[in-house]
Amino acid sequence: MLAKYLVRRFLASIVVVLGVTAITLILMDRTRGTYVPGIDLNPALRPEDIARLRAGLGLDRPFYEWYLTWLWNVLHGDFGRSMIDGSPVLSHILDRLPNTLELTGTAILLGVLISIPLGVIGALRRGSKTDHALTVVSVAGFAVPQFWLGLLLILVFSVTFEQHGLPWLPSSGATSPVGGGDILDRIEHLVMPATVLSFFYLSLWSRFTRSSMLEVLSQDYIRTARAKGMAERRVVYLHGLRNAVIPLITLVGLELPGLVSGGLVVEVVFGWPGIGKLAFERALQYDYSTVMGIVFFATLLVVAGNLLADVLYAVLDPRIRYA
């Protein structure tokens, strides 16, 4: 049953990936039709040179042909070459990937580690001042623009702190350009972007943990456990929390694709050399082979994240049936 369900989900995922890449390409095709990157910067080029350049990049072929070739190559692990600098797209992605994973991975980890305890506290002390304070923080987390929160942090912890001679945090990049790169330097750079990113996750998941916990604690089996005289601690953590966290896993799984694309705005604000920033810059330069590669990659993650969330959920909660 599970196997059949998985096969069906897998096939549906392939359709999704094909759809997404096709849509991306149709969009890019509209821009590439007339454009070779950088061509307007060079007045010495004759029309026949431009035609030759376009042919070299495969721009003279109809887009479905380009798409099929691209798809065929990608299936063989060849993401093509960047239209800007001619280097392989895959190496661009792999260059930036560790930085992005470092940032978003830290943010998601922080989010999970902090939000679950906060959610549990909120549920156990429902209606208390602590609970209200946590609610306010999480409501604020949903409403604050990430890029603006980032700007404020830079303003306070980089600019103002430096002006007042306090120890300040670097505002940009993943390492210091000179003499950087050791673990402490990386952490210093990571603090602010990871904080901004995890603040959102924190708001989302702590609310969810809270309501899920409240829901579980009102179940009959919790009452039974209490009636048996089980210690409250055991009731809450063994029976309550374990069941309350199951739906959270799906939610975290759904954020996994955010590992690549979710941090784009934060990466741009903090000059973090990750995949999001790469995609942003390259899209502005019409480097569509690079953008296609990144979108394909990110979509794979979305699909994989959804699939993983479903599977984990099914494994962890045997009540789930696959219809």
Partner 1 sequence: MSILGQTPATEIEAPISTFEGATSRPAQSYWNESWERLRENRIGVAAGVLILVLAAIAVAAPLFTQFLTHYEPSRLDLTATFQTPGHPHLLGTDELGRDTLTRLIYGGRVTLGVAFLTVALSLTLGTTVGLVAGYYGGWIDDVLMRIVDVVLSIPAIFLFILMSILFRPNPISLAMIIASVGWGGVARLVRGEVLSVKQRDFIMATRSIGARDLRLIVRHLLPNVLPVLIVAASLGVGQIILIEAALDFLGLGIQPPTASWGNMLTNAESYFFHSVWLVVFPGVTIFVTVLASNIFGNAVRDAFDPRLKAH
Structure tokens at 169: 């945090």
What backbone torsions phi and psi does residue 195 show, to the nearest 5 degrees?
-65, -50
Residue 65 C-beta: closest distance to partner 1, Å: 20
- Minimum CB distance to partner 1 smaller for 193 or for 262: 262
C-alpha distances in Å from residue 304, one per residue of 39, 297, 313 = 38, 11, 14
Residue 132 C-beta: closest distance to partner 1, Å: 12
Q: Can you tell me the distance from the alpha carbon of 152 to that of 235, in angstroms, rounded to the nearest whole number? A: 42
Question: Which of the ranges 16-24, 76-84, 100-108, 223-231 carries the binding residues for partner 1, by CB under 8 A?
Answer: 16-24
Q: Can you tell me the distance from the alpha carbon of 225 to that of 229, in angstroms, rounded to the nearest whole number? A: 7
Residue 229 C-beta: closest distance to partner 1, Å: 26
Residue 175 C-beta: closest distance to partner 1, Å: 20
Residue list 199-218, contact with partner 1 (CB under 8 A)? 204, 207-208, 210-212, 214-216
User: DSSP label at 219?
Assistant: S
* Near partner 1 by CB under 8 A: residue from 268, 307, 312, 314: 268
Which helix (H) or strand (E) is 187 found in, with range? helix 183-217
- Minimum CB distance to partner 1 smaller for 214 or for 230: 214
DSSP conformation letters of 79-143:
--B-TTT-SBHHHHHHHHHHHHHHHHHHHHHHHHHHHHHHHHHHHHTTTSHHHHHHHHHHHHHHH
* Near partner 1 by CB under 8 A: residue from 252, 265, 278, 309: 265
What backbone torsions phi and psi does residue 81 show, to the nearest 5 degrees?
-115, 150
User: How does 270-280 read in b/e, with b if 16+ C-beta sit within 10 Å?
Assistant: bebbbbbbbbb
Q: Can you tell me the distance from the alpha carbon of 194 to that of 192, in angstroms, rounded to the nearest whole number? A: 5
| Residue 181 binds partner 1, judged by CB under 8 A | no
Residue 159 C-beta: closest distance to partner 1, Å: 5
Residue list 271-290, contact with partner 1 (CB under 8 A)? 276, 279-280, 283-284, 286
Residue 264 C-beta: closest distance to partner 1, Å: 5
| Residue 19 binds partner 1, judged by CB under 8 A | yes
| Residue 71 binds partner 1, judged by CB under 8 A | no
Q: Can you tell me the distance from the alpha carbon of 106 to that of 191, in angstroms, rounded to the nearest whole number? A: 9
Q: Please list the residues that pair with 88 across neighbouring strands.
A: 81
| Residue 139 binds partner 1, judged by CB under 8 A | yes
Max Cα–Cα distance, the chain, nearest Å:
88
Question: Which of the ranges 46-54, 95-103, 149-157, 308-316 carries the binding residues for partner 1, by CB under 8 A?
Answer: 149-157
Chain residues in the site for partner 1 (CB under 8 A) = 12, 15-17, 19-20, 23-24, 27-28, 30-31, 123, 126, 139-140, 142-148, 151-152, 154-155, 159, 204, 207-208, 210-212, 214-216, 244, 247, 251, 257-258, 260-262, 264-265, 268, 276, 279-280, 283-284, 286, 291, 294-295, 298-299, 302-303, 306
